[in-house]
Structure 1
Amino acid sequence: MLLKDEVGMLQRIPLFRGVEPAKLKLLAFTSDRVSYGAGQVLFRQGDEGDAAYVILSGTADILVDSDQGQIKIAEAEPNSIIGEIAILCNVSRTATVRANGPLETLRIRKDHFLRLLREFPEITIEILRVLADRLSRTTAELIDARSTKS
């Protein structure tokens, strides 16, 4: 895929909509295009958070370890970003991510991701929105799970 195609894909991602094309071109150039096959793991819960991933095509399961084994908590779809929590919070990975089928990603190294946030505060705000939405959904699911136990 050509660099301009990757820039076009990045422009379709809500997180990067406000970023000028020249900066997206630099981001695409400094990022790695990584392909995965069905069942391949992008990263595991507990791993060091060294990069964030943008899903370009395909889907991936987001899994957490529990006493009963791994539990699927979400599915990452095209134009979503994953792995940013470990980078932002400087903690180990909070989940395992596994490709459902052929998966194309753009891997953004931690240093590039953090530089992007410093240069574009609007991206930081959008990430806060994404994280707040995830927290809201998780809270609703926990409330629902507790009410069904009662």
Structure 2
Amino acid sequence: MDDAAAILGRADFFNMCDDEQRRMLGFASDRRHAEADEVIYKAGTVPQGAHVLIEGTLKARNEGVEAGKPYALSEPGSIISPMALFLDKPRPVTITAVTDCDLLFVPRSAFLKLMRQYPDLAQKAAQRIERELSGYLTALDPLKRKMKER
């Protein structure tokens, strides 16, 4: 449990949680191992939570309309699909292990329960989502201007 809490402590996403909240999430989380070339989840599926990379390298590839070059995740503490902690929606990305990987799976149900128990955590999570969405929208501004010029 403390090992899982320490792993969550290395993931920037979970800096909104205090030590006790990370311990509670760690208790509900599962450590998993993925072999090289193993699919963690496929685009179009609904992940039941998020993964935190402990060790190894993962490849993320957008599928469908937004398909593009895959990108790699190899930084310990990287969180895969943090929005899956909030939303019960299919993800547009396929995540595959490039090398053998160790991951910590954080179930959505545990994260949502924690937010219900700690309204201040729910507020911090809402602020984080708002900041990230604002950042995405700001990044789209140049495209918006180009579209208006046409």
Range of TM-score over shorter length:
0.7 to 0.9
Q: CA deviation at 1:36?
A: 0.7
Change over 3 Å in CA distance of 1:47–1:127 after alignment to 2: same
**Match runs of 1:130-149 below 5 Å:** 130=132, 132-133=134-135, 135=136, 139=140
How many angstroms apart in 2 are the aligned matches of 1:50 and 1:18? 21
Aligned in 2, Cα 1:85/1:11: closer, same or farther, shift over 3 Å? closer
2:125 matched residue in structure 1: 123
Corresponding position of 2:39: 41
AA in 2 matched with 1:92:
P
Give the total of aligned pairs: 138
Which residue of structure 2 aligns with residue 64 of structure 1? Answer: 62
Q: Residue 72 of structure 2 aligns with which residue?
A: 75
Residue 40 of structure 2 contacts residue 96 of structure 2 at CA under 8 Å; is this kept in 1?
yes
Asked if the contact 1:85–1:93 (Cα under 8 Å) also holds between the matched residues in 2, the reply is no
Structure 2: which amino acid aligns with 1:11?
Answer: G
The structure-2 alpha-carbon separation of the partners of 1:122 and 1:87, relative to structure 1 and needing over 3 Å to count, comes to: closer
- Of Structure 1 and Structure 2, the greater strand share is in 1
In the TM superposition, residue 130 of structure 1 has moved relative to its aligned partner by 4.5
TM-score (norm 2): 0.73
Question: What's the counterpart of residue 92 of structure 2?
Answer: 94
Picking from 110, 115, 132, the partner of 1:112 is 110
Deviation at 1:72, TM superposition (A): 3.5
User: Please, what is the CA RMSD of the aligned residues?
Assistant: 2.8
Name the CA distance, whole Å, in 1 between partners of 2:59 and 2:77. 15
CA shift in 2, pair 1:30/1:87, >3 Å: closer
Normalized against structure 1, the TM-score is what? Answer: 0.73
Gaps of 5+ in 2: none
C-alpha distance in 1 between matches for 2:40 and 2:138: 23
